[in-house]
A and B are shown apart, each in its own frame.
Chain A
Amino acid sequence: MTERVDESSIGAHGRTISVEIMGRPYAVPEGLTMLRAMWYTGHEVVRGAGCLGGFCGACAVTYRTKDDVRLRNGLACQTQVEDGMSFYLNFAYYPNRKVIYDLTQLSDPKQDLFKLFPEASLCRNCNACTEACPQGIDVRDGVWKSVFGDFQKVSEMFMDCVMCGQCIPVCIADIAPNHVALYASRAQGARLTPAPDNLLRRVNEIESGKYGEEWKKILAMNEDELKAAGRPTA
């Protein structure tokens, strides 16, 4: 039993190019993403693939393009292979420490950041985290803004963060920038932003039983009665 959709060839163009996967040379058609190039060349991928849509960060990849000295980071489900490219899947697992906190127990989220993430204020401005980010986030600036307490701005800057973690191993001050930003962002949402009135109003209405009578009538209806009751009036 095989799938009728040939995922390994989606995107393939006619011309054949040379790529290196984990140091081994392969010829693949132009136009494939890195992940599809791996399937095309017979690799079984278990760790290293996730949502396949560029959102989950499971396929973090390190690569180099032809004649370029620079190592780059990307997402293997989103990055196209080029002739002379060399890459490997990071498998995105780092045994890094998860700082444990209870948002409801924080006394002052902006001050508590220094207790939970004392290393955050030791950023040495090397900018490696920003360079490593496949989402183009100014990660270094985000760390500084977290330290200075501008959690609102951090939450906006990191809305694109897929938590791939590629900013973690490159940090010379042992900061996990994505986790610092997630803390700032969650604290902003849970503790520093007033609850929305329109939502609270509706919750109160429901809890006070405003719709109770209506539900009784509706749940006693048969399919035809429901059809008639639900016909839009416009």
Chain B
Amino acid sequence: MDLIAQSMEKVLKGRDARRSKTVPIRPPEERDKLVHAFHPDYKKEEYHRIRVGPNAGERTVREVVELLESDSPVPNDLDLTPQYRVDVLVVGGGGAGATAALSAHGQGANVLLVTKLRMGDSNTVMAQGGMQVAITEQDSPVTHFFDTLRGGHHKNDPNLLKILVEEGPMAAKWLIELGVLFDRDGSGNLRTKKGGGSTQPRLLTCSDYTGLEIMRVLKDEVLNRQIPILEFSPVVELLTDSEGQCTGAVLKNLDNGQFIVVSAKSVILATGGSGRLHIEGFPTSNHYGATGDALALAYRTGARLAHADTFQYHPTGAVFPEQLAGALVTEGIRSDGGHLVNQNGDRFINELDTRDVVAAAIIRECADGRGVKTPAGRVGVWLDVPMIDQLMGEGSISKRFPAMVRQFERYGIDIRKEPVLVYPTLHYQNGGVAIDVEGRSGTQGLLVAGEASGGLHGRNRLMGNSLLDLIVFGRRSGIAAALRAKSVTAGKLTLAHVLRFRKELEKNAIKPTRVAPIILPDYVRREEIAAAASDP
């Protein structure tokens, strides 16, 4: 019997013994120590100093420094005659962008939504765990506030956080009115599940398709309202006037390579995160276009970033089969009682601790030789999925995790019978462009919503708060952008901030190693491809 099979035997045999024991949440000092020792955010040699712009002097990972010190893809002398003139330009077709567009449109604004991929192709569709909303009797927005604050190591902006938790129930109500079908209990109340780092069950779910259900509905509503959409048209540069206010953007038509100029009274960046930068060489659970565009775009206009040095490595990325490497295994498995087990069949962390702590513990197990090696040379620990059927009754896994059953079935693995191997995967940008409670960045006329923004989540986002973030702040930014559009006239379109930024790079003798926005990661193999054996 090979080593994997032997170790899997231990997982199955030890299940009953494990069930009777609990692994307590460790005290804060001990958890901090674990995170500092093993979490990728604390790997000093990966961190470099930012040399230009509003965050100069701070340190972040090499990949983000390169992005912030990148060159613009737009030439200084680009013809800036606009093809579109709108009140509100929404950049990004995920959950935050769709919500912002609907909200701005609801205020009577003339809205244009532009997106890099297709409308809806985003991280939102993949969100499986659920959305945190404090609705049970034992729970309250205040409890939600403190859970999130603890998860974020007390670095969250309390004002943003208060808005998030208090408008959560209204956000859920808004989604239900649009037709989102959250899971209910027998009496018609919303069912809640407990998420990692949370003291109360407050995850609203649509089986393990929560994000897909929300995105399907939001996209359909954007189409129903006939809000104009330009797909495969990412923003490659922002435009500003002589006072530094954002007045529009330059898009690139990815089909023919041509630039498109848009004049807008407000611009909302809802371009999501940066997993496709593969920070510290990690695989990622993110979509194809998650290249941190908002960071580069907003930074050049002079907007400050918040917590741009911290990333969430989701504890349970798949490592086997090899085809699923980096893909997410939903936290819902742990919420429902699935254990994390090392090579020896032992539990090593409370599965419902915050993501940074659980990820650090998995990395520690593997670094100390208690991980399981896959045939492709990856290493991971077991997630005992089949336990859920034992805890909740036969058929629970199929009913509660249809997406995951399907995903592994494609590779001949039955998660109802076998545990799966997992290791942390790059999942979420904890920080981003600093915003106020209306979603406004430091640059006038430029708003930011969703994962692209920063401050709300502190140094570690609590699970289930991301879907809530994009609805609550998507709505707020959409409304604020529309209101601003009512009070200002269309501004002059210039590349003044780009010229200034290029000079600053030059002054600091920085030769950019990248042009950004990166738009899409480059995965194309350049080596000579062997011709297929032709068998006539």
Partners in one complex: yes
Interface residues of A (CB under 8 A from B): 1-12, 16, 18-19, 25-27, 31-33, 36, 39-44, 46-47, 49-56, 58, 78-80, 92, 98, 100-103, 135-136, 155, 159-163, 182, 185-191, 193-203, 206, 211, 214-215, 218-219, 221, 223, 226-227, 229-230, 232, 234
- Once A56-B122, A98-B223 are accepted as A-B contacts, the answer to whether A42 and B524 lie under 8 Å apart by CB is yes
Instruction: For chain B, residues 16 to 69, give those with C-beta under 8 angstroms from any C-beta of chain A.
Output: 66
Which chain A residue lies CB-closest to B178?
Answer: A190
A27 close to B531 (CB less than 8 A)? yes
16 contacts between A and B (CB under 8 A): A1-B66, A4-B281, A8-B524, A31-B323, A39-B524, A40-B529, A53-B125, A56-B120, A58-B118, A188-B179, A190-B178, A201-B135, A203-B170, A218-B158, A230-B146, A230-B150
Asked if A198 meets B135 with Cβ closer than 8 Å, knowing A2-B522, A42-B525, A103-B179, the reply is yes
Residues of B within 8 A of A10 (CB): 283, 322-323, 325-326
Q: Of B176, B403, B529, which is within 8 A of A42 by CB?
A: B529
Q: Is the CB of A78 within 8 A of B179?
A: no
B108 to chain A, nearest CB (A): 16
Whether B179 contacts A27 by the Cβ 8 Å rule is no
Contact A198 B523 (CB under 8 A): no
With A and B bound together, what is the CA distance between A47 and B154 in angstroms?
Answer: 42
Q: Does A53 contact B285, Cβ atoms closer than 8 Å? A: yes
User: In whole angstroms, what is the CA distance A40 to B131 when docked?
Assistant: 37
CB pair A214–B176 under 8 Å, yes or no, is no
Instruction: Give which listed residue, A3, A6, A135, A223, contacts B406 with CB less than 8 A.
Output: A135
Q: How far is the CA of A178 from the CA of B179 in the complex (A)?
A: 15
Q: Which of B179, B190, B534 has the most CB of A within 10 A?
A: B179
A219, B162: Cβ atoms closer than 8 Å: yes
Determine the distance from Cα of A198 to Cα of B169 in the docked complex, in whole angstroms.
10
> Within the assembled complex, what's the spacing in Å between the Cα atoms of A4 and B120?
28
Given A78-B410, A182-B220, A226-B154, residue A11 in contact with residue B323 (CB < 8 A): yes
Q: A27-B531, A102-B224, A197-B188 are in contact. Are A160 and B524 (CB under 8 A)?
A: no
Contact B287 A52 (CB under 8 A): yes
For B169, list chain A residues within 8 Å (CB).
Answer: 199, 202-203, 206
A176 to chain B minimum Cβ distance, whole angstroms, is 12
A196:B190 contact, CB within 8 angstroms: yes
Verify if B117 is at the interface (C-beta below 8 Å from A): yes
The answer to the question of B417 belonging to the interface, with a C-beta cut-off of 8 Å to chain A, is no
Name the residue on A nearest B208 (C-beta): A159
The stretch of B83-91, B210-218, B475-483 in contact with A is B210-218
